[in-house]
Every structure is written in C-alpha cells, then in structure tokens.
Amino acid sequence: MQSLTISLIQTHLHWEEKAANLQMLEQKIMGISQKTELVVLPEMFSTGFSMKPELFAETMEGPTLQWMKRIAAEKKIVLTGSLIIEEDQKFYNRLIWMLPNGQYGVYDKRHRFAFAGEDEHYTAGSKRLIASVKGWRINLLVCYDLRFPVWARQSPSAADRAHGEAEYDLLIYVANWPERRSHAWKTLLQARAIENQCYVVGVNRVGNDGNNIYHSGDSMIVDPMGETVYTKKDEEDIFTITLNKEELMLVREKLPFLKDADRFLLLNEDDLVEEA
C-alpha cells in the first residue's frame, strides 16, 4: 500500500494583494526541501477571505490558475487551495486541485458563511470532489463546510460497504477560521476523523485580516482514531508528513464501524418536490 507525502502551508496572507501573496507562496513552496507530493494552501490564498468578488474574481483562464499550473509542473506536485472565481456571471469560492500535468478538478464551497455575508456574494456549490492520487481517495472541502457533518460523511456503495471499504481515505479542509472559534475548529476536525475513519488535514491561515480578525492557525493533521499528529498555533509554518495507507486500513479492519453506518442520499434543493 502506497504512502502519501503532504506539505501544509500555514501562513499570513496579504489582504487583497494577489501579487504579493503569489510571490510569497511561491517562495514557500519552492523552498520545501523534502520530497513532497501534495501541497495544501489556505482558503482564498490569493486575497484572504474577501467579500469583494467583483474586484478580485478571476476566470478559469486567469493568472492565478496559470500560476498554479506552473508551480505544480515545476515542483512536480499536486497543489490545492481555494480562490475567487467568476463563471457564468456568478462568483464562487472555488477549491482547485491542480495536477503536475495541468489537469485539474474543482470544488465550489457548499456552505457559505452567512455570518460574514458570504452568502450575499458567492454562489453555493452542489457537488463534492473526491480526487485520487497514488491509490488515495481524497475528499476536498472548504472552511465552514466543517460544521456540517452530513456533507463530509462517508457514503460508500453497497458493494464497497459489504467489503468494509470506504468512499475516501483523507479529508482536507482549507480555511480562514478565526481564533475566537478555534476550539470548534480543533474539535470538529477530530470528530470528522473519528466518524469517517480517515485521516483529516485542516490548513488554516495566521494573523489579522483586513477586518482586524485574528487567525491563530491551529492547522492540524488528525489520524483515523482522532489523535492529533500535528498542530501549530499562532506561527507561520510549513510542515511535511508522510501518511501511511496500511495504518489506515488496519484501523478499519480492527474496528469495522463503517459497515454499520446509516445509508443515505444527499439531495440538492432542486431535487426536492414540495407537496401542493
């Protein structure tokens, strides 16, 4: 069973300054000396958590996507993080999963943070993205999605369930999660790992944003038993770790809890028909 080496970049972000953020992040990524296969950036890594998409949105042919393609190719990594995208006259908080060959997958943040007005500026996504690399299946989500366990819940097919197989092996959240709610962040990351019997990675930013909201980072790696493997508070940090697929499978074999999970389907509002 193959291992997977991941690098987490916990960093301060220059408020609504794309060029400065891309230059800073390029230096950090290119400076990773260990061999790594996947680099994870925070939510809205090019701007910070901005509610001004009309000023900072790009298309899928824009400079930040081109930057991601170049970095992924030069470093020979998968690169992921979210940014502001405009498509069909709508704005999205869109996570990009960029491969070294220039191909990519996308996930539009499902749960918009209405407390900060995100729902007034951005359109919600309706489909999950489960990527695959080196035999690992990876569920990619964004920040506020963490509070909604059904959206992240393992839902393997009946055949997979009968053989004790899961829908995915690693759950990644990219975030701009404020320090004032850091206890919820840390607790929910551990809960998602335990209930889904998977590794969980949460990558958060540090420092004050343009609204003077402080972020303590607290980026975390949690193992399938809910134990914290790594966390870092208040400081910028680049952390690289190799995850072992065999250890994950041993947990699932020893404790085959996913076989007993409830079966369910996720429906969009458009799929529901109200009674007259």
Question: What CA–CA distance (Å, rounded) separates 209 from 232?
Answer: 19
pLDDT(161) > 80 = no
Tell me the CA distances in angstroms from 17 to 110, 203, 210, one per residue in order: 25, 20, 11
pLDDT at residue 87, as a whole number: 98
* pLDDT tens-digit map of 12-44: 999 999 999 999 999 999 999 999 999 999 999
pTM for this one? 0.95
Q: State the chain's mean pLDDT as an integer.
A: 94
Question: What CA–CA distance (Å, rounded) separates 201 from 94?
Answer: 18
Catalytic residue among 37, 58, 69, 143: 143
> pLDDT class for 267, splitting at 50, 70, 90?
confident
DSSP class of 58: B
Question: What CA–CA distance (Å, rounded) separates 122 from 51?
Answer: 9
* pLDDT tens-digit map of 216-263: 999 999 999 999 999 999 999 999 999 999 999 999 999 999 999 888
pLDDT at residue 56, as a whole number: 98
Say which CATH superfamily domain 3-260 falls into: Carbon-nitrogen hydrolase (3.60.110.10)
Is 43 an active-site residue? yes
Q: Which residues make beta-bridge pairs with 171?
A: 139, 200
The predicted model gives 169-192 an average pLDDT of 98
3-state secondary structure of 68: helix
> pLDDT class for 264, splitting at 50, 70, 90?
confident
Tell me the CA distances in angstroms from 145 to 51, 133, 151, 254, 255, one per residue in order: 18, 23, 7, 29, 27
Residue 54 amino acid letter: E
Catalytic residue among 18, 69, 75, 109: 109
The predicted model gives 141-167 an average pLDDT of 84
**Backbone dihedral angles phi then psi of residue 130, each to the nearest 5 degrees:** -115, 105
User: For residue 75, what are its two tokens?
Assistant: 């470093």
pLDDT(274) > 60 = no
Name the percent of the chain lying above pLDDT 90: 89
pLDDT(276) > 50 = no
**CA triple 227-233-236, angle to 5 deg:** 120
Of 120-124, 154-158, 194-198, 234-238, give the lowest mean pLDDT range: 154-158
Is 143 an active-site residue? yes
Catalytic residue among 43, 58, 118, 167: 43
Residue 211 amino acid letter: N
Question: What CA–CA distance (Å, rounded) separates 252 from 166?
Answer: 9
User: For residue 42, what are its two tokens?
Assistant: 């925070």
User: For residue 30, what are its two tokens?
Assistant: 């290119």
Is 254 an active-site residue? no
Domains of the chain, residue spans: 3-260
Name the percent of the chain lying above pLDDT 70: 93
* pLDDT tens-digit map of 87-128: 999 999 999 999 999 999 999 999 999 999 999 999 999 999
